[in-house]
Amino acid sequence: MTLHREGKNIMLWSLIFTILLSGIIHYFLSACCPIVYWILQIGFLVLLGLVVQFFRVPNRTCKGVSNDIMCPADGKVVVIEETTESEYFKDRRIQISIFMSPLNVHANYHPIKGIVKYIKYHPGLFLVAWHPKSSTDNERSTVVVEHESGKEVLFRQVAGAVARRICFYPTEGQFVEMGSEFGFIKFGSRIDLYLPLGTKIDVAIGDVVKAKLTRIGELN
């Protein structure tokens, strides 16, 4: 396991803040109120641990092959439906949404390999990730990758009520490998996938999924 580069400043300042507070509490409480002192010290260490674990990146090998569509993020499947994708395709697609809680790994990965055809960042609101309008009104990024078969898959990072920064790394025209990192969402949110109609789907609503390990479906 490694720690993600997007968390470098946050983890550094969290460590400094924890050390300063620990020193202040030690000076004022260690002698007169030892029980309160230890409760606070343990509490600060737990909070620091939560910040650090949020930016963890497990060492995983992508298990996908050929036409597989691999899961781009850790979380739970909350939406599987046919809908109209209005930004890029402007036609009917299968939408699969994966909700990431603050305890999930928040690095995001390309679900297929191919050429990046489209990228766009949208500033926006910070509605809760399960709100019906979060996909269109929240801060979000859209990436479209064309598979070697010619079929295109759109995946969208959607910020939630807690998330305040979306990071994404690919550029248009770039060739990307399945399972390579494409972005990071700070402090919880959602990933939407838009797949061609007729795509074989291997997950169900409520499934707990893992990035690079869970197969979402297969391009026909």
Instruction: Name the residues annotated as catalytic.
Output: 189
Residue with tokens 């509605």: 127
Half-sphere exposure of 45 (CA within 13 A, CB side): 7
Comparing CA positions, the residue from 191, 186, 140 lying closest to residue 164 is 186
Are 211 and 104 contacting, i.e. CB atoms less than 8 angstroms apart? no
Q: Which pair of tokens denotes residue 24?
A: 């202040």
Are 156 and 190 contacting, i.e. CB atoms less than 8 angstroms apart? no
Q: Which pair of tokens denotes residue 77?
A: 């499947």
d(CA 19, CA 215): 43
The CA-atom distances, in angstroms, between 206 and each of 18, 26, 75, 128, 168 are 37, 46, 10, 18, 27
Residue 192 amino acid letter: D
d(CA 19, CA 36): 17
